[in-house]
């Protein structure tokens, strides 16, 4: 088989399915760049909060107003750095203020249009692993390899809590986190614009019983087999 040149690999799935950390590790192993599209929606949410624009006004914002918030992405060593008003942002994007509001912003057509061009530009040269909710359906419909990651809700809640430093969460903590994740899933799946769904032709990987290394190995092996590399 002739190896595919400069492929694009998309990884979509619900919240807490391990997409971003997995996509980053897969990209590292393949020598590709990683695009975390959720970070862009988070950056736009962060920019609105920084600008002091209340959530009650978000539905009326135009694409031009959102563009003026100046969210950008620049290629870094292995992934992309995200900037708001010229300042690199990273940990700010994971705050509870941003996390609870991002799904609302992401449901609005002008915010999706604002970020579309940035994402496509990031994929212009291929050799990309892009993760999010609509990578394989809307942003890179021509992607060479599409993957849809799923995992049981309670396992996703446990992983989220572990990421937040809660090593041994109680049942009540897992339940509360599962409710928050299910709410975000509902928002992402039921919205009118670019709802979360399994892209046509996507390879389904259930990570409930896989540890992190096993997930990464499974995806790298799939990509190498399908691209004719390795």
- Kindly tell me the burial class for residue 92, based on how many C-beta atoms sit within 10 Å of its own C-beta (0-12, 13-18, 19 or more): middle
**Interaction mask 44-83, ligand C5P, x per CB under 6 A:** ----------------------------------------
* The only residue of 108, 147, 158, 188 in contact with ligand C5P, by rule CB under 6 A: 188
Using CB under 6 A as the binding rule, whether residue 156 contacts ligand C5P is answered as no
Nearest approach in angstroms of CB 99 to ligand C5P is 7
Count CB-CB contacts under 10 A for residue 84: 20
User: Residue 71: which H helix or E strand, with range?
Assistant: strand 71-75
Backbone angles phi and psi of 78, in degrees to 5? -130, -20
Taking the complex as a whole, the smallest distance from the CB of residue 114 to ligand C5P amounts, in Å, to: 12
Burial class (CB in 10 A: 0-12, 13-18, 19+), 10: buried
Which residues 79-138 are close enough to bind ligand C5P by CB under 6 A? 102-103, 106, 132-135
Contact between 199 and ligand C5P by CB under 6 A: the answer reads no
Measured from the CB atom, the residue of 138 and 224 that comes closer to ligand C5P is 138
Query: Is 155 near ligand C5P (CB under 6 A)?
Result: no
Max Cα separation, the chain? 54
* Distance in Å, CB of 9 to ligand C5P, minimum: 14
Q: How many residues bind ligand C5P (CB under 6 A)?
A: 15
Entry field: residues in the chain: 230
Distance CA 105, CA 120 (A): 20
Q: Name the site residues for ligand C5P (rule: CB under 6 A).
A: 15, 20, 37-38, 41-42, 102-103, 106, 132-135, 184, 188
């Amino acid at each position: 088989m002739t190896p595919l040149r400069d492929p694009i690999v998309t990884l979509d799935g619900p919240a807490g399915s391990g997409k971003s950390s997995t996509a980053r590790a897969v990209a590292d192993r393949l020598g590709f760049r990683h695009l975390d599209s959720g970070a862009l929606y988070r950056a736009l949410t962060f920019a609105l909060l920084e600008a002091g624009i209340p959530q009650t006004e978000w539905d009326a914002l135009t694409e031009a107003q959102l563009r003026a918030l100046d969210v950008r992405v620049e290629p870094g060593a292995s992934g992309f750095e995200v900037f708001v008003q010229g300042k690199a942002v990273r940990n700010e994007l994971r705050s509870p203020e941003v996390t609870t509001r991002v799904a609302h912003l992401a449901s609005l057509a002008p915010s999706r249009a604002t970020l579309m061009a940035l994402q496509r530009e990031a994929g212009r040269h291929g050799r990309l692993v892009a993760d999010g909710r609509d990578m394989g359906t809307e942003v890179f419909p021509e992607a060479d390899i599409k993957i849809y990651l799923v995992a049981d809700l309670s396992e996703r809640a446990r992983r989220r809590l572990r990421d937040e430093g809660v090593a041994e969460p109680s049942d009540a903590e897992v339940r509360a986190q599962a409710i928050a994740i299910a709410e975000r899933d509902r928002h992402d799946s039921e919205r009118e614009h670019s709802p979360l769904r399994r892209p046509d032709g996507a390879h389904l990987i259930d990570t409930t019983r896989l540890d992190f290394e096993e997930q990464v190995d499974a995806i790298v092996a799939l990509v190498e087999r399908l691209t004719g590399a390795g």
